[in-house]
């Protein structure tokens, strides 16, 4: 019986890695993977103006299209990359709505750094489906663009700092390449092992990094999400609201989760932390200011590399300085 289970697990894992190595053009139709790009403003190919670039995987499921659109407005920056995955369980009409939103947003089209996965996966919290989707997204982004850090978010997340100021996981490009290409067998062996876990994403990357001689002393073991749990804890985190706002701000963390659609606390975050007007982007140095002062309706065609950190950037700097301090950093390394 044990041998049969092992063989089945091996077949499933082999299938996942086969998917990861399929060329992007086969898994993502051109029409939904990219939007038209204006070559006169091609920051994604020729301009390395910004000191660091993030690649985001944003996962959404049925009923999340509204939250996803709001998150994109709050999170967007022309120096980063965004890959959106809509769960296969979401209705086709909702999926088409997201694709149309990305295709018709002028800024996304002008910069060309937002994509929607064309071939959707069915994602569940149990089993390896979420992990395989994450690894697949990492492989797509590694092949498609140059970036420094990979960040995995859901549509229920929301930023607490502007993108000029700064999962689940935040992974370096080098470590992402190690997980996908794997110049030794450790990532593949552990993927085979985690195929049998109820929630493989919660331990896979941590186990790989802590058992790799090249990366085990490079971890900053701290959650960059503000999350609260019921007592006793339930399967999912507690939904955040206005009463949690002060603690969120004092946590100095760049992200928080999870939120209900259009909860009043999101308006407060937009107004006080992100300086974002309704329906517009979070303010940054790349914005062309609108008639209402610090509104951000569109982008500049010149000097788009200027950074203007928001009010929460100093808090994030304080948190990262503490995490990376000599006193704290070594204590949080893998044992």
97-149 per-position pLDDT tens digit = 999 999 999 989 888 999 999 888 878 766 678 888 889 999 999 998 999 99
Backbone angles phi, psi at 172, to 5 degrees: -70, 160
CB 253 within 8 A of CB 315: no
- Torsion angle defined by CA atoms of residues 143, 146, 149 and 154, in that order, rounded to the nearest 10 degrees: -60
Q: Which residues contact 311 (CB under 8 A, 6 or more apart)?
A: 272, 273, 275
Cα 246 from Cα 249, distance rounded (Å): 5
Residue written as token pair 């002062």: 293
Nearest partner of 283 among 150, 114, 165, judged by Cα: 165
Tens digit of each residue's pLDDT (9 = 90 or more) over 178-229: 988 877 788 888 888 877 776 666 778 888 888 888 888 787 777 788 999 8
Cα four-point dihedral sign 227, 83, 281, 45: positive
Mean pLDDT in the chain?
77
Token output for 4: 């049969």
> What is the Cα–Cα distance from 41 to 9, expressed in whole angstroms?
47
CA nearest to 212, candidates 177, 169, 237, 163: 177
Rounded to two decimals, what is the model's pTM?
A: 0.80
- Assign 40 a pLDDT band (cuts: 50, 70, 90): very low
Q: In which element (H, E) is residue 171 found? A: strand 170-172
* Contact (Cβ atoms closer than 8 angstroms) between residue 240 and residue 258: yes
């Amino acid at each position: 019986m044990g041998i049969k289970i092992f063989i089945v697990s091996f077949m499933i894992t082999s299938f996942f890695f086969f998917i990861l190595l399929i060329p992007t053009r086969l898994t993502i139709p051109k029409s939904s993977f990219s939007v038209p790009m204006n070559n006169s403003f091609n920051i994604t190919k020729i301009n390395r103006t910004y000191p660091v670039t993030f690649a985001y995987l944003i996962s959404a499921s049925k009923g999340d299209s509204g939250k996803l659109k709001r998150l994109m407005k709050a999170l967007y920056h022309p120096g980063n990359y965004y890959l959106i995955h809509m769960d296969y369980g979401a209705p086709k009409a909702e999926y088409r709505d997201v694709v149309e939103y990305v295709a018709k947003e002028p800024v996304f089209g002008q910069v060309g750094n937002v994509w929607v996965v064309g071939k959707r996966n069915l994602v569940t919290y149990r089993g390896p489906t979420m992990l395989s989707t994450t690894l697949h997204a990492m492989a797509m982004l590694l092949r498609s663009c140059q970036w420094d850090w990979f960040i995995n978010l859901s549509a229920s997340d929301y930023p607490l700092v502007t993108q000029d100021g700064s999962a689940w996981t935040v992974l370096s490009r080098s470590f992402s390449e190690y997980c996908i290409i794997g110049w030794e067998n450790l990532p593949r062996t552990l993927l085979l092992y985690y195929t049998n876990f109820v929630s493989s994403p919660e331990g896979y990357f941590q186990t790989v990094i802590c058992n790799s001689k090249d990366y085990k002393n490079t971890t900053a073991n701290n959650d960059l999400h503000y999350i609260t749990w019921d007592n006793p804890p339930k399967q999912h985190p507690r939904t955040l609201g206005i009463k949690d706002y002060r603690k969120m701000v004092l946590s100095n963390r760049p992200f928080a989760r999870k939120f209900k659609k259009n909860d009043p606390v999101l308006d407060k975050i937009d107004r006080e932390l992100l300086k974002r007007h309704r329906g517009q982007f979070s303010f940054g140095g790349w914005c062309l200011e609108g008639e209402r002062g610090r509104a951000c309706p569109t982008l500049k065609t010149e000097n788009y590399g200027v950074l203007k950190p928001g009010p929460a950037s100093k808090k994030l700097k304080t948190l990262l300085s503490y995490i990376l301090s000599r006193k704290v950093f070594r204590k949080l390394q893998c044992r």
